[in-house]
Amino acid sequence: MKQARGEDYSSEAFSQTNPYQSQIADIAAKLELRPEAIYGAMVEENHGYRQGFLKNWLGDGWTLSHALTHDFMVADYRRAQQAGKLDRHSTWDKINPVLNDIGPFNFKLATAMRLLQNYLDTTPADSDPLELRRYAGNYPQLATDLAAGDAVPEFAGLMLAEAKRYMRAHADPEYWAQLSDAEKDALYLTYYNMGPVTIEERRPKNTLLNQGKYKPAPGLKDAAGKNHQHNATQIGQRFGHANYRTPDAPTETPPATPAPLPQTPRASPHDLVSQLDDASIILRPGATLADIVARERLRGNPITLGDLRAVNGLRAGQEWRLADDYLLLLPKREHEQLTVDDTQARLSFNPGNGSYSLSVLNDDGAESRCARRWDSALQRYIDDYEISTASGARHQRQFTVDMGYGERLNAAYQPFDCQALPVVSSNIATIGYHAASQTLSVLFRKGSRYEYYNVPRACFEAFLAATSKGQYLNFWIKGIYPYARIGPSPYRRPN
């Protein structure tokens, strides 16, 4: 296997997962899993949960708001099932509350409902080893317990047990036997993250490439497997297993990225993205979120990478590895406000204070509205929710939100603040770089300012060191990286 190149899980993610260790060990023993697999699934999702903000705020609140009755939730599940959305859906499809990942461990409610039904169907009526029968007629309680995190070890275990059965049924036995425990768990987590439909769709190609044998590899990109391998040693230590690691786990920091080589000029951002309507846009092959940013800024819509991540539920880094023809929501920015307008829905979000409003007109004529506001007296967010059915019936609900939103608020929205460094050049006054977004800022002496996107840090450092800044810009940056000319900064940091 190739060397694992995953992310280091944050200390906060480990801290929030640690209290569940005893519960995880108990569930793992009952399901004949390694506790590292369940722990790994939970810490992976919590790591991602902490990197996102709007997806989590909106998804948690919207789902809990709609969890009014068991029958409501059954109807939502059946609607998603009939539309073929349970395993593959867009961000807008998550208006159906059961399609949302909820709680600090990002567990999708529809998946929990499916796993629960499978558990009930395969467990004798007089047996309940995981104590899950209490949810059989009470999906609202299931949503509440997933949002709190309390029910996640059980359902994570059920999903991983399903992954184990799949791998044992299809993976080449000889190949499987040579894998370490951590590598097998990394494959279970890949199944956990991708879901059974995607895994099954990819199996024929893998089998063909391996001369008729299925030899699955831990998921690359954001499919959890590589991350699990990368953090296996730390996870194993929590359960006293010193040998829980992958044979090729990294033991030293990778070498620094070399200076960039000249590249073939990229296509224009206008050619790399395709807009379907006012609310959605498609990435063409070779495009990234930065191309959308460049295109929209040229059109007078000063959005940032953070804005696109927020409304599409992406975390930092995912934008460089989205699939071709990926459908995204397209926000519009006016000062501190983001809006997304669709024929059936309208979202308005303020990253500066965390407030939002969402209104949705469903196919059956019902209209749902949810608004979040800050209550200074309670020092918490309040969600006001209302649904009006086609028959005229109205349901209203109000509840406080206490899931760590306030703690994340101050860091939720970060503009492209590039520290300006003065340089010796006849044309260029300052050069700046924002590492997190890979944004290069160039201020010319005549007053114009440009931002270039997807620029590696090595390129920025070579730019600073170049004897002729103008020549370096012309040969190494222009025509290679997407860009936008921008005026005075429209951003203000949140108070």
What is the CB neighbour count within 10 angstroms for residue 138?
Answer: 15
What is the C-alpha to C-alpha distance for residues 248 and 222, in angstroms, rounded to an integer?
Answer: 20
What is the structure's pLDDT at 323? 67
Q: Where are the domains of the chain?
A: 11-237, 269-409, 421-486
Query: pLDDT tens-digit profile of 66-110?
Result: 777 898 889 889 988 998 888 877 777 778 888 888 888 989 999
How far apart CA 79 and CA 70 sit, in angstroms, is: 14
Residue 120: predicted pLDDT:
94
In this structure, what token pair is assigned to residue 211? 């001369």
**HSE-up of 375 (CA within 13 Å, CB side)?**
14
Which pair of structure tokens corresponds to residue 209?
């490439």
pLDDT value of residue 403 = 44
Backbone angles phi and psi of 345, in degrees to 5: -145, 155
- The whole-number pLDDT of residue 1 equals 34
Dist CA 410 CA 354 (whole Å): 10
- DSSP string for 188-237: HHHHHHH-HHHHHHHHHHHHHHTTT--------TTSSHHHHHHTHHHHHH
Over 70: is that where the pLDDT of 57 sits?
no
Give CA–CA dist 151/145, Å, rounded.
5
DSSP string for residues in 418-459: PPPEE---SSEEEEEEETTTTEEEEEETTS-EEEEES--HHH
Task: State pTM to two decimals.
Answer: 0.66
Helix, strand, coil shares of the chain, percent, nearest 5, are: 45, 15, 40
The model's pLDDT over 353-365, given as tens digits with 9 standing for 90+, comes to 777 888 888 777 7
